[in-house]
Amino acid sequence: MTNPLLAPWDTPFGLPPYDLIEDAHWMPAAEAVLSEAREAIEAIAADPEAPSFANTIAALEMADEGLGRVFGAFYAMAGADSSPARQALQRDFAPMLSAHTSWVIGNRELFDRIDALWLARETLDLGPEEARVLMLTHRRFVRAGAKLEGAEAERMAEIRARLSVLGTQFSQNLLKDESSWTLPLSEADLADLPEGLRSAARAAGNEAGPVITLSRSLVVPFLQYSPNRALRRQAFEAWIARGMNGGETDNRAIAAETLKLREERAKLLGHDDYASWKLETEMARTPEAVRELLQAVWTPARAAANADAAIYADMLHADGHEGPLEPWDWRYYAEARRLTEHEIDDGTLKPYLQLDRMIEAAFSVAHRLFGIEAREIEAPVYHPDARTFEITRGGEHLAVFVGDWFARPSKRSGAWCTTMRDQHRMGGQEVRPLVLNVCNFAKPDEGAPALLSFDDARTLFHEFGHALHQMLSDVTYESISGTSVARDFVELPSQLFEHWLEVPQVLREFATHAETGAPMPEALMEKMLAAANFDQGFATVEQASSAIVDLEFHCGAAPADPMQRQAEVLEAIGMPRAIVMRHATPHFAHVFSGDGYAAGYYSYLWSEMMDADAFEAFREAGDPFDAETARKLEAHVLSRGGSEEAGLLYERFRGAMPSVEALLRGRGLAA
């Protein structure tokens, strides 16, 4: 029987043929494409011709085309629609891919060719992109241990393999904890909740009755609105206990081993610690620069949070509760205060923030800024909830965009953007990207419209900003395409795009009532926008504390007990007792499911320095849709991927790098 993964994909725009793929097809396809990639790389390494950019670097870029196709399709599905069979495949694939990477990095003949080109780079007459790709390729090999030999090289391969296994296990443990817990609710428990939350709880429980799950789109509004303090505590404690329940899904030992292995890897490569190694290639460059940013943010955020905590404690006591304000109280009293001070709550707003209308809004903003059009199409998808769109500009195909917005037990938590294929022009082809946005919004009852909170809508815009970075990419080489940029630059396009959700003319057109179709009243819109920075002390403390702990985990010796080290760091910075880290260690997937954000969670705040300043460029032009400013943004940021250093790209757009004051002003925390 033909394996559809290995046959030509006769699908719209080369999308994966999910309608034909069975779980049994993945392993044979994986083995086949890994073998093909190995043969291609062996041919490059053994080429009798002298190394050139074309026969070594460009050839290496194309050597894993089949591998990228198969695994791109698999991992897009595995994160959003998992199953026991797919989790087993992930566990099997992790060491296979790690072994392949170690073999490539350890191929001495291949690295000698790359090294020879690097040493002769001044004589090669390379264009800017080629020079950049050569530098990045050489740096990637060196930083992965290509210069190590003997026992050190073997140990590096072992570390890489083990880290891959640990990251996969961390993610799967977290998914199991999140999907296995529910809080059943009675009709009395539902009585004081907004209608949208009642509907979502009923939908989550199906025929078993209403429940709260550990999906953020359910548990957070429950903590905001439930007057039942005991139930709030029960939900909150389950939420923060993910990954540390003491059983087979406990992630604490995985985190400890991961940190130890990262330290060892950094030292094998000649660095004092993992943070110094990791930050070397980021915009920040050093742990000291990151600490400076985080301290500048932490001080005013903590002061604001402590002032708010005193107010919420008084509200708690006025309700007849004794003792201190607790973490399961904060959101409830913050929401009550928001209603009092701004006369606004999510129950009032949600009918105006329909998912379908917010999707239209994101497409419309992208059209007005960059001229793109979106048309929904029929295509094979891995789950019926996923929707597929062709993205065009001037009648020409630009990309395929897949949106998978609803929460389900088979989907890991959070929101993310990924690709099943990246943009490039290698080998004379014009390859356009296949881009996927995944969110976890509460699914409504059948036939009812999906309603979002303002934070949900912001998340949708955020992830679509990442998608634009991929869809507008215009480079030759895949390794510098789209979001292949410094980690502390990658959040700039996503966080910048969030700003258009707050543009009144966007809201006037797309924030329409789910039942009446009427636009959001101007007074309500003004209240919503005035409250946009409400409770920013809490939000910033949540985020900055996670970034601080992440950094300290990776500076100096790895802690034997990460939970103890986490507690020490939080005590040292004076963490408010009624706020917890946004991502505590056992469920800090950004840091422990892989190393993308390890020693790099600060990057959201670093990018926010730029996104606040970048949107200011449109304000200075007098129009949030100013055509020339949008052209410069695309030309110097969104289309260029990693073709130049991130700081140079930003300065070309804006003229200079911003200071942390732009971030603090944006969050309403400036003095």
Amino acid at 589: A
- How distant, in Å, are the alpha carbons of 25, 140, 424, 475, 640 from that of 644? 39, 16, 16, 11, 8
Inter-residue contact 103 to 154 (CB < 8 Å): no
DSSP class of residue 286? Answer: S
Tell me which residue has tokens 């194309």: 62
CA angle 549, 551, 557 (to 5 degrees): 95
Tokens at residue 467, please?
């998608």
Q: What is the secondary structure of 586-632 as a DSSP string?
A: GG-HHHHSSSTTTTTTTHHHHHHHHHHHHHHHHHHHT-TT-HHHHHH
Q: List for the chain the helix, strand, coil content (%; round to 5).
A: 60, 5, 30
Residue 206 carries which side chain, given as an amino acid letter? N
- What contacts 24+ positions apart, CB below 8 Å, involve 668-671? 668/533, 668/536, 669/297, 669/300, 669/301, 669/304, 669/536, 669/537, 669/540, 670/300, 671/300
C-alpha 478: how far from chain center: 20
How remote is the C-alpha of 267 from its chain's centroid?
A: 28
- Residue 355: enclosing H or E segment and its boundaries? helix 355-370
Adjacent-strand bridge partners of 519: 512
Pick left, alpha or beta for residue 212 (phi over 0 → left; psi -120 to 50 → alpha; otherwise beta): beta
463, 491, 552, 608: the active-site residue: 463
Could you confirm whether 463 is annotated as catalytic? yes
Active site (catalytic) residues: 463
